């Protein structure tokens, strides 16, 4: 029963912090832009600021989680989501709107990594990978839930929906406070810090380039996809909310990433993911007003984006087998650089040349990943026998470069995208 409560609490928290607080901005971006008179460049800068907040929260968790445990971190994430979305719902000027979006954006950074610690304490060893996988699916379900609410917003207004988001975040936070364990984890300090040369190994260059590309393409799509669909189909169309819901439903297929890597190998899965992501972006650049193209884009993007973080986790594990968690922290740093640069840069492109041109430029960037595939990685058979395919790289890997006190270089799962 304790394990089931943890899985419910974790999936709900990830659904709120990622599916609503982090990605909800993109779903309602057209309404926010119209109401506050925002340019695409300003909207992009605000989106980039939310990713900066996310990164800062990740760094803070890295320094605090081993000392204070997962409960305060997740509560901080829930409080950030609740307060941030309430600020957005009541905003009357762009300054408050930006503050609310940035605060809400930090929620995912606070909430995700501590679940590695919670699962380590509350779930038996043989079921930890599955538990982290279940918790990570919260992102897709949060996206699915947000879509129909955007339809409701056409009658009630977007502010009522964001107030509902805040209320859901509050309830989820209270439930997590009741479920999660108190106190810090044991501390290990047996490992020495690594130097820059360790991170700059030659085999890591394609991984880093892919991480930047993945972050940029993903952040642009999450922020501007609905705007592209509305521009193509019309502001009053129900297509955009249904597109968002379809994307979330399709995203649950990302849970099969480990099986795909085990069967086909990293190189083929890498090509499939980034070829598919580029295609999804191109479809919105070329035909945002055509329903088949919009639906195909959602069906492609949902599972492939969710699969991308799993691919990076497994690939990073094989590039840095001696210290996988520390290596993955470097990978996430490059991913963060892409997410921060993407919205602001492509927002400026959209202002200058139009949203379609911005999507086509983003797709061109996505193709870069196809030019730097994984090299020298194990065969599918060896991968199928190895621990990395089951997603055992710890979510806390995103943090351990900044805080060596956790000392967990193996463990439980990737990260929700």
pLDDT in tens, 17-33: 999 999 999 999 999 99
Cα of 162 vs its chain's centroid, Å: 20
- All structural domains of the chain with their residue ranges: 1-183, 200-401
Q: Which range is most confident: 46-50, 63-67, 113-117? A: 46-50
Fold identical between 1-183 and 200-401?
yes
The two tokens of residue 306 are 């969710």
What is the per-residue pLDDT across 137-189, written as a single tens digit (0 to 9) for each? 889 899 999 999 988 887 778 999 999 999 999 999 999 999 998 877 554 54
What would the CATH number be for the domain defined by 200-401?
1.20.1250.20
Average pLDDT in the 277-290 region?
Answer: 96
Q: Transcribe 47-95 into DSSP letters.
A: HHHHHHHHHHHHHHHHHHHHHH-HHHHHHHHHHHHHHHHHHHHH--SHH
Average pLDDT taken over every residue of the chain: 85
Rounded to two decimals, the pTM is 0.84
What is the per-residue pLDDT across 337-361, written as a single tens digit (0 to 9) for each? 999 999 999 999 999 999 999 999 9
- Considering only CA atoms, give the Rg of the chain: 20
CATH class of 1-183: mainly alpha
Tell me which of 376 and 366 has the higher pLDDT: 366
The two tokens of residue 46 are 């605000």
Q: Transcribe 16-38 into DSSP letters.
A: IIIIIIITHHHHTHHHHHHHHT-
In whole angstroms, give the CA distance from residue 162 to residue 171. Answer: 14
Cα maximum dimension of the chain: 60
Q: What burial class does residue 210 get, using C-beta atoms within 10 Å of its C-beta: 0-12 exposed, 13-18 middle, 19+ buried?
A: buried
Cα of 99 vs its chain's centroid, Å: 20
In whole angstroms, give the CA distance from residue 207 to residue 311. Answer: 10
In whole angstroms, give the CA distance from residue 161 to residue 165. Answer: 6
Q: What is the pLDDT of residue 95?
A: 96
């Amino acid at each position: 029963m304790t394990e089931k409560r943890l899985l419910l609490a974790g999936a709900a928290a990830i659904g709120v912090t990622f599916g609503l607080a982090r990605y909800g901005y993109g779903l309602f971006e057209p309404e926010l832009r119209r109401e506050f008179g925002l340019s695409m460049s300003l909207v992009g800068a605000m989106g980039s600021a939310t990713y900066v907040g996310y990164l800062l929260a990740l760094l803070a968790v890295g320094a605090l989680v081993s000392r204070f445990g997962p409960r305060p971190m997740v509560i901080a994430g829930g409080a950030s989501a609740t307060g941030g979305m309430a600020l957005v719902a009541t905003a009357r000027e762009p300054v408050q709107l930006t503050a609310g979006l940035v605060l809400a954006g930090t929620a995912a950074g606070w909430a995700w990594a501590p679940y590695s610690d919670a699962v380590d304490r509350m779930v038996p060893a043989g079921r930890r990978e599955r538990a982290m996988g279940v918790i990570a699916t919260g992102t897709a379900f949060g996206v699915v839930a947000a879509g129909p609410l955007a339809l409701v917003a056409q009658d009630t207004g977007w502010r009522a929906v964001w107030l509902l988001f805040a209320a859901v975040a509050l309830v989820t936070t209270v439930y997590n406070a009741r479920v999660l364990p108190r106190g810090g984890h044991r501390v290990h300090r047996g490992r020495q810090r690594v130097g820059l040369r360790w991170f700059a190994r030659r085999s890591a260059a394609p991984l880093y380039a892919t991480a930047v590309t993945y972050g940029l393409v993903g952040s642009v799509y999450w922020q501007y996809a609905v705007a592209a669909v509305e521009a193509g189909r019309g502001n009053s169309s129900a297509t955009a909310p249904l597109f968002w819901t379809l994307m979330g439903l399709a995203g649950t297929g990302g849970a099969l990433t480990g099986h795909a890597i085990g069967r086909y190998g990293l190189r083929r899965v890498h090509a499939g993911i980034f070829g598919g992501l580029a295609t999804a972006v191109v479809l919105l650049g070329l035909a945002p007003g055509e329903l088949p193209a919009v639906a195909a884009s959602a069906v492609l993007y949902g599972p492939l984006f969710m699969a991308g973080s799993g691919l990076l986790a497994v690939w990073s594990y094989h590039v840095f087998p001696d210290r996988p968690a520390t290596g993955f922290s470097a990978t996430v740093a490059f991913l963060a650089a892409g997410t921060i640069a993407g919205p602001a840069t492509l927002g400026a492109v959209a202002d200058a040349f139009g949203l379609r041109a911005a999507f086509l430029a983003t797709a061109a960037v996505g193709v870069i990943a196809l030019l730097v595939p994984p090299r020298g990685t194990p065969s599918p058979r060896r991968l199928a026998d190895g621990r990395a395919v089951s997603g055992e790289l710890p979510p806390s890997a995103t943090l351990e470069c900044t805080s060596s006190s956790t000392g967990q270089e193996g463990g439980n799962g990737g990260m929700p995208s």
